Amino acid sequence: MVSPQKLHSMPPSVKTDLIGGHFRSFRRDPTGFLTRLSKLGDVTSFRMGPQQAYFINHPELVRELLVNSNHKFMKGRALQRAKALLGNGLLTSEGDFHLRQRRMIQPAFHRKRIEEYSRSMVEFGERLSDKWRDGETRDIDKDMTRLTLQIVANSLFSADVTDEADEVGKAMTDLVEMFNYMLLPFSEWLERLPLPHTRRLTRARETLNSIIFQFINERRRTGEDKGDLLSMLLAARDEETSSPMSDEQIRDEALTLFLAGHETTANALVWTWYLLSQNPKAEVTLHEELGRVIETGGNATVKERVPTQLEGTLPNGRVSARGIGFEDIPELKYTEAVLAESMRLFPPAWAIGRLALDDHQFGSYEIEKGALVLASPFVAHRDERFWDEPDRFKPERWFETSIKDAGQKYIYFPFGGGVRRCIGEGFAWIEGILLLTTLARRWKLRLIPDQKFGLQPMITLRPKYGMKMNIEERG
């Protein structure tokens, strides 16, 4: 427990770079830099050019930042700059406006809605599974991105972007990769110059705007209420003025959820495939569960199951006992544990930043108004004070510590916390479990021999060199 202490002048830090404080060190290896800071204490300091910053690394301090004193902080520079990419959507908006928008969007992520979305999750997962061939090599990073992009478009906007998936995926990737560029000092001014980065960003925004506005215009033209997120946004009215959202605001919310709704799950699945390929015992246990629950119906009491369109003979000639469905999730305990452990080691949202709106005390240090405060799920999830063998992939640990308990203790927060906790968390869990189940029931994935490993922390934690893997059919 963090106990009150006499105030100290400045938290410990590491040696600065020749210029710019710690900017170059942080930019070169963000997760490594924060890990080094964590060895110096629960509150440490660093400087990003002229910006004074602090790193907190204790569950009680994280709770203080995200929950108890969240009103004293606002989104950090990273997400403020992201407004140039995403507009004023849920991810970037603040205060009462953010809460109002969140209340309007929340019904789209209620359990009943997610159960309906689960059908398209399985359907698109099966489509990809049918395309894979034994012995081929695929870029799993691209496959997962394309897959989750199709699902979020279908689930939230009732749109099929299969034909445009590569174009949309490239535009989304360009936006994510431009994120680091936009954190550079003076990037606000650089954006006004006809530089290659600026032109690339402009093209990506134009591509995505065209697609999103096409969704909006078509729905306005037909007037059809499909009960999806887009219909909710079009029908929403301001509580005070009763006025509808403008097309621009709908675009901001739609694009935010379009990006967040596929990017995080895609990365979680890529890291999951990587970890399973490196941990054969865990992979065997996963396949045993899938065989017990899916192929034989499990050892649960007999109950009515909703037939799916996926029942019957699989393309390779094997007969499936039945299709995969939402009702299977409670029995897929180890599958859920595999996904939870993957997000512990490689949380898609690897860092959370806030700007102090007033002076605030963390531990024995005073954080001044205007300072940047960072917390990092990547670092916290590997803290040996709270995790046994923290660097080891151990899905079975989640049978001893529940996901809910770890989240309440703030030793595990892959989806953030407090009023800004990810609105699509339930969607992401269901999607991750169903896609992992759909694909792993038929396939094993193995890294190609010369695949390089590296982290690329941007908006999310991506693999730096992609993830090319060999596809092997299960016997």
pLDDT tens per residue across span 422-450 = 999 999 999 999 999 999 999 999 999 99
Q: How many domains does the chain have?
A: 1
| Neighbour count for residue 317 (Cβ, 10 Å) | 6
Establish if 10 belongs to a structural domain: no
Q: Is the pLDDT of residue 319 over 50?
A: no
Percent of the chain with pLDDT over 90: 55
Instruction: Decide which of 187 and 24 is more confident.
Output: 24
Instruction: Decide which of 272 and 242 is more confident.
Output: 272
Mean pLDDT for the stretch of residues 289-304: 63
Residues with Cβ within 8 Å of 288's Cβ and at least 6 positions away in sequence, in order, are: none
Establish if 13 belongs to a structural domain: no
Range of the domain at 198: 23-473
- Tell me the helices (H) and strands (E) count for the chain, helix number first: 18, 14
Q: Is the pLDDT of residue 195 over 70?
A: no
Evaluate whether 76 touches 354 at the Cβ level (below 8 Å).
yes
| Burial (Cβ within 10 Å: 0-12, 13-18, ≥19) of residue 401 | middle
CATH number at residue 143: 1.10.630.10
Closest to 71 (Cα-Cα) out of 334, 427, 458, 420: 420
Q: Is the pLDDT of residue 374 over 80?
A: yes
Query: With the C-alpha atoms ordered 2, 78, 340, 402, is the resulting torsion angle positive or negative?
Result: positive
Establish if 178 belongs to a structural domain: yes
Establish if 3 belongs to a structural domain: no
Evaluate whether 268 touches 342 at the Cβ level (below 8 Å).
yes
Residue 444, φ and ψ in degrees, nearest 5 = -120, 145
pLDDT at position 404: 95
pLDDT digits (tens, 9 = 90+) for 243-266: 888 889 888 888 888 888 888 999
pLDDT digits (tens, 9 = 90+) for 201-240: 778 888 888 888 888 998 988 888 888 888 888 888 777 7
Query: Largest Cα–Cα distance of the chain, in whole Å?
Result: 71
Establish if 235 belongs to a structural domain: yes
Establish if 4 belongs to a structural domain: no
